[in-house]
Structure 1
Amino acid sequence: MTDLLPAPGLTGLLLGTTPPGVYRLPPADTAPRVMALAAEADWRGATLHLGGVTTKTAFMDRCATDLELPDWFGRNWDALADCLTDLSWWREEGKARGFLVLAEEWAAFRKAASREARTAEAVFGDAVDYWAEAESPLAVLLG
């Protein structure tokens, strides 16, 4: 099970005092608040809406849409890993201090598709590790 985002919470993650990782979002934090704080801290953020997602196919479709993945995304685990370790599709003009994916309704997805959720967590974890030492790290919050 993924750990809860440690104190000082989202602020620590965005300021770099908490290392990037795959964390459970504290229940009091909402997606709009998280994305607003990320934007204020010059992080690029995307919300992955998992409400009603119960299969790998639906998860991949939601990733493609909500994360605005590139056309070459092949809708499989390897392709998701490739997209998350090559963030050129997500980079805009200017520099981001980091990249943040917030997966909303993670608990419901995990309950409906536990094997897929475990695999997704592993893919997210590998991508976070890949970017951990980069100037612009990646973090994933499971809400």
Structure 2
Amino acid sequence: MTETVVSLDLDGVGDKAGLMDRCARALALPDWFGRNWDALADSLADHDLWPEEAVERGRVIVVRNWRPYAAARPAEWETAREVFADAVRATTGLTVALALGGSV
């Protein structure tokens, strides 16, 4: 069995609102997603938001084109990294990978 891989492409994201919108779309988060750090953390850890087979096999979120956002908004990016890292530590089978190249 292979993991479920989701690409989170941050190309063109310039602020927290844009990041939250991109997360909502790429991760297929529900309409009630609160678009804040706590809501993102809760969503990443919520097994009910992922298809059952993805939970069983494991989930990989590949964050692409993150460097411009990180450079433009370093404090926000640090918070985003902390949210991703906390979710990985707290959630079985979740991996968040930062792509260093231009494509995945």
Interval of TM-score (by shorter of Structure 1 and Structure 2): 0.7 to 0.9
Alpha-carbon distance, 1:94 to partner: 7.4
On the 8 A contact 1:44/1:96 being kept in 2, the answer is: no
Q: CA contact under 8 A between 1:49 and 1:103: conserved in structure 2?
A: yes
Distance 1:101 1:94 in 2: 12
State whether residues 6 and 61 of structure 2, in contact with CA within 8 Å, keep that contact through their aligned partners in structure 1. Answer: yes
Equivalent residues of 2:45, 2:87 under 8 A apart: yes
Alignment length, in residue pairs? Answer: 99
SS of the equivalent of 2:56 reads coil
Within a 5 Å distance, the mapping from 1:1-143 to structure 2 comes to 41-93=1-53, 96-131=56-91, 134=92, 137-143=93-99
Superposed CA RMSD: 1.6
How high is the TM-score relative to the length of structure 1?
0.64
Distance 1:68 1:86 in 2: 12
Shift of the alpha carbon at 1:45? Answer: 1.5
**Alpha-carbon distance in structure 2 between the residues aligned to 1:42 and 1:57:** 32
- 4+ residue runs of structure 1 moved beyond 6 angstroms? none
Secondary structure at the counterpart of residue 8 of structure 2: strand
CA shift for structure 1 position 103: 0.7
1:107 is displaced (CA, Å) by: 1.2
Q: Rg bigger for which structure?
A: 1
Instruction: Check conservation: 2:4, 2:54, Cα contact below 8 A.
Output: no
